[in-house]
A and B are shown apart, each in its own frame.
Chain A
Amino acid sequence: MEKPIHMEYLLNELANIKVRNERQRRMRLDVPSKELPAVLELLKGRAGFMHLSAISCVDWIDENQFELVYHLWSNQVSTLVSAHTRIERDPGVYLSVYDLYKPAAFWERDIHEMYGVFFEGSPDMEKFILTEWDGPPPMRKEFDSEAWVNDHFDWQNYRPDWLQEIEQEGGGIAILPDEQRFSRKAEE
């Protein structure tokens, strides 16, 4: 199957889109957030990208932005298009694409739960998997998972009495967990 040529003409109709052919059958679009719904409508309505594989979210905390990635697949031309867009981290509200792609409801609900991004027009923004979680959205970069773990759990005793006998004979744990935790390494 040939690489889709005509799709690029299609995308040229819209301004402000950066198209990058990463590989054959893999295309990356960088779209301003205002134009993303129009691009998705164009791709679905005129290029046959019927399948929304996933919406993923990246937290760029230093730039104060969330990056949303819409992965679209076309069975006709067997091509995966990833449409990247950036939204402001505060207040973190964006438009739902539920009217175009019904499965978007699940992805948006998931992103709302994990990152706290609110999607206007999405049918259900209730808890999805973390139904018994009342902390902050855990996938945001400012959420310190290790601090939460330290607050809520005790670590296993790595120097029990029965192990000390083994240690005297030269056995035991080779690298203690304290020495291999990433965050503590970074502090040094």
Chain B
Amino acid sequence: MKEFPVPVQTAEDPSVKKQSGNIFSNVFDELVRFAQSRSLFMLHYCTGCGAIELPPAMTSRFDMERLGIQPMVTPRQADILLITGYVSVKTLKRVILTYEQMNAPKYVIGICSCTVNGGMYWQSYATAKKLNDYMPVDLYIAGCMPRPEAVISGLRQLMEKIKIGEANSWQDYFKRYDYYLGNQQRLFGETWQTPTDIIGESKHYSLHTPETEGEHTRLLELHQRPLEPLEMRLGLSEKTEDR
């Protein structure tokens, strides 16, 4: 994979501001961030009851679209992953697959108490307790369930964070992939793997740190099976012909 000659700069990094002598580069970054914060596509992964608060938030009553936030149908075109409610262990696998497919920069919002601490399912064997153990979460909106006003105010907060360049937690997934993978392996077993090459991507984004790789990624390499293309065949399959 080709590496960028210039590392991706973040506003979080104090050395960045000193380096850039050109004032126009900052102006351009700000403009880009402003534009990003005003045009967000949202993939709402409706896992639980919190999803019921989204239709009023999106439609004419509270009208999310006036903020420039629209629902999107696929993860690869979305900026925000909105997780509304409890995440069961089976669902969590799909959520991680969805999250890894999204293009950076990507933001995760956990809605409802269940994503914060398990909520009323704190004792359940089937429900994940802390979403930010498995993927970096930008913002939690607590409540059981939060009203559309709370959802809107949370999204405005995220927009503000993007505008000032603080919504960088997606980089954390590449920087500390070993930690997140370790939590995933603890829950799903040693053979857990996703089709996305996170370590390769972290090099692509120049976000590869010593914490990206570790004992858990070595365990992954032991079990990782290379991806095989699906068999493509024209015509009817044998099963259909038998009928």
Residues of A within 8 A of B (CB): 130-133, 135, 138, 143, 145-146, 148-149, 152-156, 158, 177, 181
Interface residue SS majority, chain A:
loop
- CB-CB contacts below 8 Å: B102-120 with A: 116-118
Residues of chain B with a CB closer than 8 A to A149's CB: 122-125, 129
Would you call A135 and B125 a contact (CB within 8 A)?
yes
Would you call B133 and A138 a contact (CB within 8 A)?
no
With contact pairs A132-B93, A156-B117 given, residues A138 and B125 touching in the complex (Cβ less than 8 Å): yes
Residues of chain B with a CB closer than 8 A to A153's CB: 118, 128-130, 133, 187
Q: B90 on the interface (CB 8 Å rule)?
A: yes
Residues of chain B with a CB closer than 8 A to A156's CB: 116-118, 129-130
A148's closest neighbor in chain B, by CB? Answer: B125
Would you call A177 and B122 a contact (CB within 8 A)?
yes
Residues of chain B with a CB closer than 8 A to A177's CB: 117, 122
Q: How far is the CA of A86 from the CA of B124 in the complex (A)?
A: 27
Q: How far is the CA of A107 from the CA of B91 in the complex (A)?
A: 23
Residues of chain B with a CB closer than 8 A to A148's CB: 125
B213 CB, nearest partner CB in chain A, Å: 22
**9 A-B pairs, CB-CB below 8 angstroms?**
A132-B93, A135-B125, A149-B124, A152-B187, A153-B128, A155-B130, A156-B116, A156-B118, A177-B122
Residues of B within 8 A of A (CB): 89-90, 93, 116-118, 122-126, 128-130, 133, 183, 186-187
Residues of chain A with a CB closer than 8 A to B116's CB: 156
Would you call B125 and A145 a contact (CB within 8 A)?
yes
Would you call A145 and B129 a contact (CB within 8 A)?
no
- Identify B117's interface contact among A152, A155, A181, CB under 8 A: A155
Residues of chain B with a CB closer than 8 A to A181's CB: 122-123
Most-contacted residue by chain B among A131, A156, A181 (CB, 10 A): A156
A134's closest neighbor in chain B, by CB? Answer: B189
Most-contacted residue by chain A among B125, B126, B133, B183 (CB, 10 A): B125
Q: Top 7 closest A-B pairs, CB basis?
A: A156-B117, A153-B129, A148-B125, A145-B125, A146-B123, A156-B130, A132-B90
Q: How far is the CA of A158 from the CA of B130 in the complex (A)?
A: 12
- Identify A131's interface contact among B90, B128, B183, B186, CB under 8 A: B90
B134 CB, nearest partner CB in chain A, Å: 10
Residues of chain B with a CB closer than 8 A to A154's CB: 129-130, 133, 183
A177 CB, nearest partner CB in chain B, Å: 7
Q: How far is the CA of A152 from the CA of B183 in the complex (A)?
A: 9
Q: How far is the CA of A155 from the CA of B133 in the complex (A)?
A: 10
Q: How far is the CA of A149 from the CA of B183 in the complex (A)?
A: 13
Would you call B133 and A145 a contact (CB within 8 A)?
no
Would you call B117 and A145 a contact (CB within 8 A)?
no
- Identify B129's interface contact among A131, A143, A155, CB under 8 A: A155
Residues of chain A with a CB closer than 8 A to B93's CB: 132
Query: Apart from A132-B89, A155-B117, what are 5 other A-B pairs with CB-CB below 8 Å?
Result: A135-B125, A149-B123, A153-B128, A153-B133, A156-B116
Residues of chain A with a CB closer than 8 A to B118's CB: 153, 156
Residues of chain A with a CB closer than 8 A to B130's CB: 153-156
A25 CB, nearest partner CB in chain B, Å: 33
B117 CB, nearest partner CB in chain A, Å: 4
Would you call A145 and B123 a contact (CB within 8 A)?
yes
B218 CB, nearest partner CB in chain A, Å: 22
B116's closest neighbor in chain A, by CB? Answer: A156
B128's closest neighbor in chain A, by CB? Answer: A153
B193 CB, nearest partner CB in chain A, Å: 14
B91 CB, nearest partner CB in chain A, Å: 11
B68 CB, nearest partner CB in chain A, Å: 29
Q: How far is the CA of A149 from the CA of B93 in the complex (A)?
A: 17
A130's closest neighbor in chain B, by CB? Answer: B126
Q: How far is the CA of A149 from the CA of B124 in the complex (A)?
A: 7
A132's closest neighbor in chain B, by CB? Answer: B90
Q: How far is the CA of A184 from the CA of B137 in the complex (A)?
A: 31
Q: How far is the CA of A131 from the CA of B89 in the complex (A)?
A: 11
